[in-house]
Amino acid sequence: MASLCRKPKLLSSLQGILKIVNITSHTQRHERNLEKIRALLVDPTSQILHGETIWNLGIIDNIDFKETTFGYGNIFDAIRGNSHATLRMLFQYQLPELPEILEVQEIIHNQQQLFGQNSFSQKTFHTFNLVFEKLLAFSENFTYQSDFDESDIRNQIMTYFKVGCNFSPPNVIILNAGDPPSSDSAVHKCLKMYENEISIGNNDYINVVADEAIFRRGISFCKTNNKIKMILGQWHTSKDIMSTLITIFSGYGIFNMAGILGVRFLDKLEKGVDFRATSKVLELIWVAVGLAIHLYAKKKEQSLNDILEENKLIKIWYLYFQWASYWRAHWFGIRWGIFDLQHESLKAFSPLFPIAGKSNYVRSVTHHIYCIENNSRLRAMLRVVPSVNLTNPGHFFAYDEALEIFGVKFVKQNVTRIPTDSEELKLKIKATQLEKERTDMLICDYIGDYVQSSKPHNIQSRKEKIWELVHQLINAFESENPLKNPIFELCNNLNNKGIDQLVAAYEIENYTTVGRRARNITRITLADIAKMKKERKIEEREEKEKAKKSGRGRGRGRGKGKGRRRERGRGSGDEEATT
């Protein structure tokens, strides 16, 4: 029996044994029929709480299922079948009296610049610089501390901010699933379902969080329906911020720095396949660049402004340090539940999206910021609950991140026998929460409830790699020809034109609705770098062949001399033979 439990493909045999010994009362086929009957009878709206101080927040995203095996036939000519649907969830927060919150928050709120740098983002960036200088702890003889890494910097920055969102976890409900969000009509239908399921007053509305693709499709619906207000998911936004940084600095050596840090699959980094890995690599580069700039400035006994005027290479990577600081501040705002840190950093980073050609995010982020700035009630709500806490105290998730990690993952783990029919799939998604609660009752009664968040992971320290990159950066900053340094090898944008383009890129301009906006910078892909390496090898091989041919031409006289020596050798040999 223990062996059968360890073999998932033999679970049907285990169920047959349990039926024979009368532990289970019916067959697997009958259980599927009962599950379908329960799914038809379930009503997710019965779990919705009602009250004047309850804030309802909807979250929607695409969920896809793939068949576990291929169909019969030639698997090289077929692909696995898949099914798509729109997963809809509802978070319900129990808040204090809303008028009091609004009154206090309106007094606190200070109007900042809508796009670009503002006083809050500048103050945050100044705080980051203070943390770097504090941890380096310079002395008179230019000695400094190096026994710290990115986690120490993160913890030190955290002491300058107050963790917010002191609320209990919300009431989470999985609602009826919708059609795949591949068209405007499907997204509008999913948004309309929220209005029908929740009793919304005449002057009230519900906020719905979605990724950029669904958010963009929902803008037109919100213009004609004042009961739904869209919020751009900040986890997906942070993911695209990282893609923007990689695109902008692709021609200035960011891939070489990642290689020094030990990244092996640079193609995955370029595409941002793994969110955590990409975030970790960009954070390590941010730390190394910040340390190198502060060490170089201290060594030269100059301020950052003086160094930026005389060294264009430092100016480029100072921009990375500054722009990546906006990204880190935005992410810290999500993880620590601080709305101002999250929102103002996004406003400071927003002019960079068009530089990298992110036209869809330009429109969506602009609309998102405008809606929040012109809605005092939504601003007040997000200051109270800017993120969601479902696991550990003091550790928060973005709303769309919570849906991805807990919603999508939860449904995929608990949906059995994935159907190809869309209606049957939506029926199974609707009943997922009820089926999990039924099994949890049995598990809790006999073996206890072990559903809890995992403990902190032991992450491998990259301290040595960080400081290796720091020292190489300082050597490159001090070098007369930094292009010969391995860090900036094959960086075609490191010229006067590329530097001027990057420096002048951070500008606010009117949004163009006709045509596609050209990038301010020249993007260099890994394929371009591989092509340049191949061309360099061909050139080196041609130069060696030319040198070899020229060497042969110069050595003909010596060759003839050697021939004469061989002739003398033959003659002497003949003389010795005659004697």
CB burial of 249-283 (b: ≥16 within 10 Å; e: otherwise) equals: bbbbbbbbbbebbebeebeebbebeeeeebbbbbb
Claim to verify: residue 140 and residue 254 sit in the same structural domain: yes
In a domain? residue 24: yes
Q: How far apart are CA 485 and CA 478, in angstroms?
A: 11
Residue 159, CA atoms < 13 Å, CB-side half-sphere: 8
In a domain? residue 442: no
pTM of the model: 0.84
Query: Which residue did the predictor score with more confidence, 7 or 510?
Result: 7
pLDDT at 573 over 60: no
Q: How far apart are CA 110 and CA 271, in angstroms?
A: 38
pLDDT at 360 over 60: yes
In a domain? residue 386: no
* pLDDT value for 448: 60
Mean pLDDT for 244-256 is 93
In a domain? residue 104: no
Claim to verify: residue 279 and residue 156 sit in the same structural domain: yes
Claim to verify: residue 144 and residue 20 sit in the same structural domain: no
Residue 566, CA atoms < 13 Å, CB-side half-sphere: 6
Strand partners, 65: 83
* pLDDT value for 385: 87
Residue ranges of E strands in 290-440: none
Q: How many domains does the chain have?
A: 2
Claim to verify: residue 348 and residue 476 sit in the same structural domain: yes
* pLDDT value for 279: 95
In a domain? residue 292: yes
In a domain? residue 183: no
Claim to verify: residue 261 and residue 135 sit in the same structural domain: yes
In a domain? residue 38: no
pLDDT at 106 over 70: no
pLDDT at 155 over 70: yes
Mean pLDDT for 192-204 is 83
Claim to verify: residue 141 and residue 264 sit in the same structural domain: yes
Name, of 143-157, 454-468, 488-502, the range with top average pLDDT: 143-157
Q: Which domain holds residue 284?
A: 131-160+243-357+459-533
Claim to verify: residue 10 and residue 139 sit in the same structural domain: no
Claim to verify: residue 13 and residue 141 sit in the same structural domain: no
Using the 8-state DSSP alphabet, how is residue 397 labeled?
Answer: B
Confidence of residue 25 (pLDDT cuts 50, 70, 90): confident
Confidence of residue 456 (pLDDT cuts 50, 70, 90): low
Using the 8-state DSSP alphabet, how is residue 253 labeled?
Answer: T
CB 396 within 8 A of CB 388: yes
In a domain? residue 1: yes
Task: List pLDDT tens digits, range 401-442.
Answer: 999 888 888 888 878 777 777 888 888 888 887 777 777 666
CB 238 within 8 A of CB 398: yes
Query: Which residue did the predictor score with more confidence, 80 or 555?
Result: 80
pLDDT at 381 over 60: yes
* pLDDT value for 569: 46
Q: Other C-beta atoms within 10 Å of 115: how many?
A: 18
Confidence of residue 509 (pLDDT cuts 50, 70, 90): low
pLDDT at 294 over 70: yes
Q: Which of 496, 514, 533 is the last residue of a domain?
A: 533
pLDDT at 295 over 80: yes
Q: Which of 513, 533, 553 is the last residue of a domain?
A: 533
Cβ-in-10-Å burial (0-12, 13-18, 19+) of 385 comes to buried
